[in-house]
Amino acid sequence: MSKIWTLCLCASLAFLVGCSSGGKKVSRIDANSVTDLSGSWNDTDSRLVADEMIMDCLNRPWYQTMVQQKNGAVPTVVIGKVRNKSHEHINVETFVKDIERALINSGKADFVANAEERSELRDELASQAGNATEETRKDAGMEIGADLMLTGTLNSIVDQEGGEQVIYYQIDMELTDIQSHRKVWVGDKKIKKFVNQSSVKM
């Protein structure tokens, strides 16, 4: 009988130790790994969409036409407004940075600073004009004008019933010729997620 009690006690202790080993655990994972926790828009979505859309964009016929028009020089792109019209507070800045990275790394396009960055650079230029030495001072009016502007929107549709939710994201991007306002490329990427939340737990 006493053995049974000892066994029960050991089992209880083991259970308690098991319970108490909860709390926060941190482990490093590959930055490129696919992770889905809540079903919300995440870094994986941002990265995959940016990579796929830029690849699609630069492999379309407009690209060769423009390179020929520019006598073999690659087009210069500026990123315009990317609007978040979804149901989530998506960090658009991270998405825009992913697009910039994908564009630069492709080697198929030149890239100029966007309106906000240009304003900051111009302030710096103005500051240099009055403060930097003549040899190191940079001249105004030497900026490279972009050929194309990339704009886009992030949209979402949510369908739900009880604990089940289907989230559909559609990311639309457009590349517009700044001179002629002609749209040279329109692309989209769709993501669909199914989220299931249990209604009870122990």
Instruction: Say if CB 129 and CB 137 are below 8 A apart.
Output: yes
Please state whether beta strands 76-85 and 110-111 pair in parallel, antiparallel, or not at all (unpaired): parallel
Q: At what angle do helices 92-106 and 43-58 cross, to 10 degrees?
A: 40
Q: Does 42 help bind another protein (rule: CB under 8 A)? A: no
Q: Does 16 help bind another protein (rule: CB under 8 A)? A: no
Taking the least distance from each CB to another protein, the nearer of 53 and 167 is 167
CB of residue 172 to another protein, shortest distance in Å: 15
The residues in 142-171 that bind another protein, with binding defined as CB under 8 A, are 156, 158, 160-163
Q: Does 24 help bind another protein (rule: CB under 8 A)? A: no
Tell me the residue type at 99: I
Taking CB under 8 A as the criterion, the residue among 59, 69, 83, 105 binding another protein is 83
Taking the least distance from each CB to another protein, the nearer of 37 and 142 is 37
Q: Does 192 help bind another protein (rule: CB under 8 A)? A: no
Taking CB under 8 A as the criterion, the residue among 56, 88, 100, 177 binding another protein is 88
Question: Token pair for residue 15?
Answer: 């259970």
Taking the least distance from each CB to another protein, the nearer of 92 and 104 is 92
Residues 6+ apart with CB under 8 A from 127: none
* Per-residue three-class SS string for 101-156: HHHHHHCCCEECCCHHHHHHHHHHHHHHHHHCCCCCCCCCCCCCCCCEEEEEEEEE
Query: CA-to-CA distance for 77 and 152, rounded, in angstroms?
Result: 14
Q: Does 202 help bind another protein (rule: CB under 8 A)? A: yes
Q: Does 199 help bind another protein (rule: CB under 8 A)? A: yes
Contact residues for another protein, defined by CB under 8 A: 83-89, 156, 158, 160-163, 197-202
